[in-house]
């Protein structure tokens, strides 16, 4: 049935930023979010992932199956690459799939402490978490930050061939072309009006 | 027409505008009247002498110190359940008044204690409890100051107020267990037999009324200030957003 | 939950300063006290239970702000919040990990360090029992405080201001138990109170901590 969003309005710090968003993402496909800095892409993704309540509207098809990846990786520097991934596998109650190391080019880094990785390698480790936890609806915030062209292609391949091909869904905020065949949602038309209702300051105006 | 209508900030400010001078006036009247009556027209206590007269400041401020915290607790619960901004801001507004009352109670207590017990400070259960209450007030106010987003601050301080209340109560009994005190029993209670003599009682009542009204007036004033601060913030933010769009 | 506890323990060991730091701090406080109050054995014996308890409290406080701060900085906290593990369990796991790294070693070391302060022999079982019951409560309350101040830049200082008043009842009952025990009196009553507080915080604090975490993550 996929992800269905109806009349969604989201707020950052109690101020409405996006208003009247409606879209749906069928299973096995992705959606790219575009918009200038500060428009509320992160806020939208956090709301979709259930980290903050929406001002209005509904999100269906996400709650139990969703995973969120922020632009921070959540990687623990003192732990090795394998330990980092094994931790998330256990939290999600799964076994650590061995093919994930190859998919994210971490094979050679398995036993390195995550603190000694370069920022691109750390990012790959952060993304590999998505391959470990087995969630079907992914909300990705700038997943390709600090990745080189090769790694971007690696990630796009994983997303297309493993995740989406298995009936997964992905909503991605990104500025670069991932090379995935996905519709693009431009957020600029949905910017909330300065007098949009629902903000926490509303009672004071 | 329900009482929650007054929880709207604008309505609250409108309603309290005519009330404010009356509350201040009445508070002043009760305080001046009660204190003059108490200081100049009551006899000295046969045991405590003239020092007893500090009771007119000590008892009402101690009473308000606790009641201010209770009011903050109720306001916090209302905010968490019903999300009325005025309630959260009233709790915030009451804290500095409450902490001042606590300080007044502690200082007047010390001044009273010196001639009576021969010491400015004793680790007596009541005194200690008030000192702990003072610390709770400080923590509560510090948390309000530390958080930038007003709604988050309101939520977090409300939870702190509730958790703090539980632990304040716990401390009260723990402290009783820890040390039997010097402090005399309650000066006032509802069953009148145990109360202080009538001649001290009526001016004391006037002073208590004065302190309650003063607390009310100060909290109203401060709540109105907080509401206006929030309103200015909201207007500025809206103006900035409108500017950014053009 | 087990995974989270194990991860936090592993982090504490690898990053250093997990087990050792709190214990070293505890030791230093104990060593400094006689310099402050004088070496007289009778005086030290009188104040030993209180000093040991206050030192344990401060040592527990020392590592509180790290409970959530590290996870907040590297972005694991929102990831944990969206994981199938409820936040209440996250808070409880964090408290348990904190207790194992600070409370447990302190409990084990305190009777040993009691010698330095000339603690009366009869007080040892009561000190140990009190710490065993009290330090979990310290960690649980501290987790709530850490959750309250998680996003704040100068959270550490504020954290102590918020948490220390909450520690008052535990300190009173804990030190009282050790003192009464040392005087050869019956000390089960304060110990039972302490156990009650520990159970109460165990039941309620994870929920309060999860509540404020959710607010802070919003």
**ipTM of this predicted structure:** 0.90
Q: Does residue B185 have a pLDDT over 70?
A: no
The SS3 call for residue A10 is: strand
H and E: helices and strands count for chain A: 5, 8
Give me the percent of chain B exceeding a pLDDT of 90.
50
Which chains have 3 or more CB–CB distances shorter than 8 Å to chain B? Answer: A, C
pLDDT at C17: 59
Q: Does residue A195 have a pLDDT over 90?
A: no
Q: Domain count of chain A?
A: 1
Give the residue-averaged pLDDT of B161-184.
83
Mutation target to probe the C interface, by most C beta carbons within 10 A, among A90, A94, A128, A141 is A90
Domain boundaries, chain B: 20-181+198-245
Which chain A residues have a beta carbon less than 8 Å from that of B233?
201, 204
Q: How confident is the model at residue B194 (pLDDT cuts 50, 70, 90)?
A: very low
Facing residue for C83 by CB, picked from A73, A79, A91? A91
Distance CA B238, CA A47 (A): 22
Within-domain flag for A198: no
Within-domain flag for A202: no
| Residue A71 DSSP one-character state | S
Find the distance separating the first CA and the last CA of chain C, reported in whole Å: 23
Facing residue for A201 by CB, picked from B230, B242, B245? B230
A197: enclosing H helix or E strand:
none
CATH topology of domain B20-181+198-245: 1.20.120
Mutation target to probe the C interface, by most C beta carbons within 10 A, among B80, B88, B131, B159 is B159
pLDDT at C18: 64
Residue A134 sits in which domain range? 3-193
Strand ranges across the sheet with A169-173: A66-69, A137-141, A169-173, A30-34, A184-186
Cβ C23 vs Cβ C109: under 8 Å: yes
Count of CB atoms within 10 A of residue C189's CB? 14
Which chain B residues have a beta carbon less than 8 Å from that of C130?
none
Distance CA A120, CA A117 (A): 8
Contact C82 A68 (CB under 8 A): yes
From chain C residues 54-113, the ones with a CB under 8 A of any chain A CB are: 71, 74-76, 78-85
Contact A15 B237 (CB under 8 A): yes
Mutation target to probe the A interface, by most A beta carbons within 10 A, among B7, B224, B241, B245 is B241
Chain B nearest-CA distance from A16, in A, is 10
Cβ A44 vs Cβ A20: under 8 Å: no
Contact A51 C11 (CB under 8 A): no
Which chain B residues have a beta carbon less than 8 Å from that of A15?
237, 241
Distance CA A53, CA A63 (A): 12
> Does the CB of C185 have a partner CB in chain A at under 8 Å?
no
pLDDT at B241: 79
Name residues of chain C where pLDDT drops below 70.
16-18
Chain C nearest-CA distance from A115, in A, is 11
Q: Which is more confident, B85 or A1?
A: B85
pLDDT at C173: 92
Q: Does residue A88 have a pLDDT over 60?
A: yes
Task: Supply the Cα-derived Rg of chain B in whole angstroms.
Answer: 21
A22: enclosing H helix or E strand:
strand A15-25
| Residue A192 DSSP one-character state | P
Within-domain flag for A26: yes
Which chain A residues have a beta carbon less than 8 Å from that of C78?
46, 51, 68, 70
Which range is least confidently modeled, A29-43, A141-155, B191-205? B191-205
pLDDT at A181: 83
Tell me the residue ranges of DSSP E strands in C7-83.
Answer: none
pLDDT at B190: 47
Mutation target to probe the C interface, by most C beta carbons within 10 A, among A14, A55, A72 is A72
CATH number at A151 reads: 3.40.50.300
* pLDDT 10s digits, A30-42: 999 998 888 889 9
Q: Does residue A67 have a pLDDT over 70?
A: yes
């Amino acid at each position: 049935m996929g992800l269905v969003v109806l009349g969604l309005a989201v707020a950052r710090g109690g101020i409405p930023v996006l208003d009247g968003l409606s879209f749906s993402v069928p299973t096995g496909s992705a959606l790219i979010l575009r918009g200038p800095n500060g428009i509320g892409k992160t806020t939208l993704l956090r709301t979709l992932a259930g980290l903050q309540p929406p001002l209005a509207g509904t999100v269906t098809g996400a709650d139990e199956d969703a995973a969120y990846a922020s632009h921070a990786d959540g990687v623990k520097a003192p732990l090795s690459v394998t330990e980092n991934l094994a931790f998330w596998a256990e939290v999600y109650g799964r076994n650590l799939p061995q093919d994930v190391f190859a998919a994210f080019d971490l094979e050679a880094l398995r036993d390195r402490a995550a603190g000694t990785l370069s920022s691109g390698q750390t990012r790959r480790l952060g993304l590999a978490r998505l391959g470990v936890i087995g969630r079907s609806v992914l909300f990705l915030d700038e997943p390709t930050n600090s990745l080189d062209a090769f790694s971007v292609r690696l990630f796009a391949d994983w997303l297309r061939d493993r995740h989406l091909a298995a009936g997964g869904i992905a909503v991605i905020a990104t500025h670069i072309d991932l090379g995935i065949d996905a519709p693009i949602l431009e957020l600029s038309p949905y910017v909330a009006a300065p007098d949009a209702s629902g903000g926490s300051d509303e009672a004071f105006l | 027409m329900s009482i929650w209508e007054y929880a709207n900030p604008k309505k609250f400010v409108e309603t309290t505008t005519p009330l404010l001078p009356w509350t201040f006036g009445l508070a002043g009247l009760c305080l001046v009247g009660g204190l003059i009556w108490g200081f100049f027209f009551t006899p000295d206590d046969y045991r405590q002498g003239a020092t007893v007269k500090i009771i007119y400041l000590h008892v009402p401020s101690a009473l308000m110190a606790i009641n201010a915290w209770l009011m903050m607790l109720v306001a916090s619960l209302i905010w968490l359940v019903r999300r009325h901004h005025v309630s959260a801001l009233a709790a915030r507004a009451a804290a500095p008044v409450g902490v001042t009352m606590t300080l007044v109670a502690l200082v007047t207590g010390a001044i009273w204690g010196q001639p009576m017990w021969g010491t400015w400070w004793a680790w007596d259960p009541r005194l200690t409890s008030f000192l702990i209450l003072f610390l709770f007030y400080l923590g509560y106010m510090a948390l309000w100051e530390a958080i930038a987003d007003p709604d988050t601050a309101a939520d977090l301080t409300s939870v702190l107020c509730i958790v703090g209340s539980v632990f304040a109560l716990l401390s009260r009994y723990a402290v009783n267990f820890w040390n039997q005190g010097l402090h005399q029993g309650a000066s006032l209670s509802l069953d009148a037999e145990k109360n202080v003599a009538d001649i001290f009682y009526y001016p004391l009542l006037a002073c208590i009324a004065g302190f309650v009204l003063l607390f009310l007036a100060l909290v109203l004033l401060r709540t109105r200030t907080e509401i206006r601060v929030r309103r200015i913030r909201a207007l500025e933010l809206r103006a900035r957003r409108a500017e950014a769009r053009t | 939950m087990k995974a989270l506890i194990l991860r936090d323990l592993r982090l504490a060991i690898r990053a250093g300063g997990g087990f050792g730091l709190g214990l070293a701090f505890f030791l230093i406080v104990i060593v400094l006290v006689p310099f402050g109050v004088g070496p007289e054995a009778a005086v030290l014996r009188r104040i030993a239970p209180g000093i040991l308890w206050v030192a344990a409290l401060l040592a527990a406080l020392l590592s509180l702000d790290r409970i959530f701060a590290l996870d907040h900085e590297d972005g694991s906290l929102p990831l944990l919040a969206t994981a199938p593990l409820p936040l209440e369990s996250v808070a409880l796991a964090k408290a348990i990990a904190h207790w194992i790294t600070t409370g447990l070693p302190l409990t084990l070391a305190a009777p040993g360090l009691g010698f330095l302060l000339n603690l009366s022999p009869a007080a040892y079982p009561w000190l140990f029992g009190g710490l065993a019951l009290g330090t979990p409560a310290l960690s649980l309350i501290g987790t709530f405080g850490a959750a309250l101040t998680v996003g704040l830049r100068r959270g550490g200082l504020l954290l102590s201001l918020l948490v220390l008043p909450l520690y008052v009842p535990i300190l009173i009952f804990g030190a009282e138990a050790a003192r009464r025990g040392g005087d050869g009196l019956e000390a089960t009553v304060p110990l039972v109170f302490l156990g009650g507080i520990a159970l109460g915080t165990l039941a309620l604090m994870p929920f309060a901590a999860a509540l404020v975490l959710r607010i802070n993550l919003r």
